[in-house]
Amino acid sequence: MELIKAFIPLIICLSIWISVGVYYGKKIKKHKEKLVVDDSRPVNCLTLTRGLEATNYLRKYSIILNGENIGNIASGETKHFELATGKHNIAVKIDWCKSKQFEFDMIGNKNTELNCGANYNNWKCLFMHAIKPSNWLYIKFA
């Protein structure tokens, strides 16, 4: 009987953890169904799209362009930024975790499409933000 009493807090914690996981799994599924895809691609713009993923679902990433914070992007969101032609650097950041600088060229009368998100969307997300914070987020061409 003493052994069973010892495991009660663990069982309660696990059941809460599983319930929260199921709840957010259903919430993300509903969000995917309601998500309106922004297919507009204005010319002379950078189009940054963030995927819909469980990791950091409730949080927004800060967008850092050429060393300046130019805004935030939420999960499943697409943003457009008018930029001058030439070379630019972009990164996304959340807390102390930041993506590597991504360098790209803006070409006149063209749209540059980039995707961003979290590299770890499985059990590794529990500890990789502490081990490799510079590898937590990514930016790449769409």
Confidence (pLDDT) at 63: 97
Chain segment 33-87, per-residue pLDDT in tens: 887 777 778 888 999 999 888 888 889 999 999 999 999 999 989 999 999 999 9
- Hey, which of 16-25, 51-60, 74-83, 120-129 has the most confident mean pLDDT? 74-83
Confidence (pLDDT) at 22: 87
Delimit the domains of the chain by residue range.
Answer: 1-34, 38-141
Please give the Cα distance from 142 to 139 (Å, whole number).
9
Q: What is the CATH number of domain 38-141?
A: 2.60.40.1120
- Mean predicted confidence (pLDDT) in 7-34: 87
User: Coil, strand, or helix at residue 100?
Assistant: coil
Question: What is the value of pTM for the model shown?
Answer: 0.79
Please give the Cα distance from 56 to 113 (Å, whole number).
22
Please give the Cα distance from 91 to 131 (Å, whole number).
19
Q: Is residue 26's pLDDT more than 90?
A: no
Please give the Cα distance from 60 to 51 (Å, whole number).
12
Q: What percent of the chain clears pLDDT 90, i.e. is strictly above it?
A: 44
CA 40 to chain centre: 21
